[in-house]
Amino acid sequence: MRIWLYYAGAGGGHKASVQAVAEEFLKQKSDAQFSWFDVGILAGAYSRRWFENGYAGLVHHLPWLYAFLYEASKLRPVMWLHNTLAEMLVGNALVRSLQTENPDLIVSSYFLVGPLVRALKKTGRAIPLVVIVTDPYSAPPIWFYYPELKYVVASAMVKKTALTRGVPEKNIVVVPQIIHGAPSRQKSVDKEGKIVLLVGGGNGFPGAEDVVNALVQSDVVAKIVVVCGTNEKLKKEIEAVTRQTKKQITVYGFVDFLPELIVKADVVIAKAGAGVVHEVLQQKKPLIISHFIWGQETGNKDFVVNNGLGFYEPQAKNIPALVQRCLYDADVLAKLEKACQEHLQKNGVSEVVTYLTSLTKGA
User: 110 with 90: CB under 8 angstroms?
Assistant: no
Is 77 found in the same domain as 62?
Answer: yes
Residue 185 has pLDDT above 70, yes or no: no
Q: Reduce the DSSP state of residue 132 to 3 states and report it.
A: strand
Q: Reduce the DSSP state of residue 282 to 3 states and report it.
A: helix
Task: Give the residues across from 288 on adjacent strands.
Answer: 269, 311
Measured between alpha carbons, how far is residue 182 from residues 66, 175, 193, 283, 347 in Å? Answer: 32, 19, 23, 10, 10
Task: Return phi, psi of residue 105, to 5°.
Answer: -160, 145
Is 353 found in the same domain as 330?
Answer: no
Lowest mean pLDDT among 279-283, 325-329, 343-347: 343-347
91: in domain:
yes
pTM: 0.87
Measured between alpha carbons, how far is residue 9 from residues 16, 37, 51, 185, 202 in Å? Answer: 9, 10, 10, 25, 9
Mean pLDDT score of the chain: 90
Is 301 found in the same domain as 328?
Answer: yes
Residue 12 has pLDDT above 70, yes or no: no
250: in domain:
yes
Q: Which whole number is the average pLDDT over 262-275?
A: 93
Measured between alpha carbons, how far is residue 320 from residues 110, 252, 315, 325, 328 in Å? Answer: 36, 21, 10, 9, 12
* Neighbouring residues of 38: CB distance < 8 A, sequence distance ≥ 6: 7, 8, 9, 15
Is 226 found in the same domain as 279?
Answer: yes
Residue 186 has pLDDT above 70, yes or no: no
Determine the Cα–Cα distance for residues 52 and 230; give it in Å rounded to an integer: 11
246: domain CATH number?
3.40.50.2000
Is 328 found in the same domain as 354?
Answer: no
Which string of DSSP letters, residue by residue, matches 300-352? HHHHHHHTTS-EE---GGGHHHHHHHHHH-HHHHHHHHHHHHHT----THHHH
Determine the Cα–Cα distance for residues 326 and 288; give it in Å rounded to an integer: 9
Q: How many CB atoms lie within 10 A of CB 30?
A: 8
Is 158 found in the same domain as 301?
Answer: no
Is 216 found in the same domain as 149?
Answer: no
For 76-87, the pLDDT digits (tens) are 999 999 999 999
pLDDT at 183: 54
| Structural domain harbouring 208 | 195-342
157: in domain:
yes
pLDDT at 229: 84
* Per-residue confidence band for 181, with pLDDT thresholds at 50, 70 and 90: low
Determine the Cα–Cα distance for residues 277 and 285; give it in Å rounded to an integer: 10
189: in domain:
no
Is 173 found in the same domain as 288?
Answer: no
Is 150 found in the same domain as 22?
Answer: yes
Find, among 65, 173, 195, the residue nearest to 128 by Cα.
173
Determine the Cα–Cα distance for residues 228 and 56; give it in Å rounded to an integer: 13
Is 258 found in the same domain as 329?
Answer: yes
Is 160 found in the same domain as 11?
Answer: yes
331: in domain:
yes
186: in domain:
no
Determine the Cα–Cα distance for residues 331 and 90; give it in Å rounded to an integer: 53
**Helix intervals (H) in 124-257:** 156-164, 208-216, 232-242
pLDDT at 34: 96
Residue 324 has pLDDT above 60, yes or no: yes
Q: Pairing mode, if any, of strands 150-153 and 223-227? A: unpaired
Is 137 found in the same domain as 245?
Answer: no
183: in domain:
no
Looking at the structure of the chain, the number of domains it has is 2
190: in domain:
no
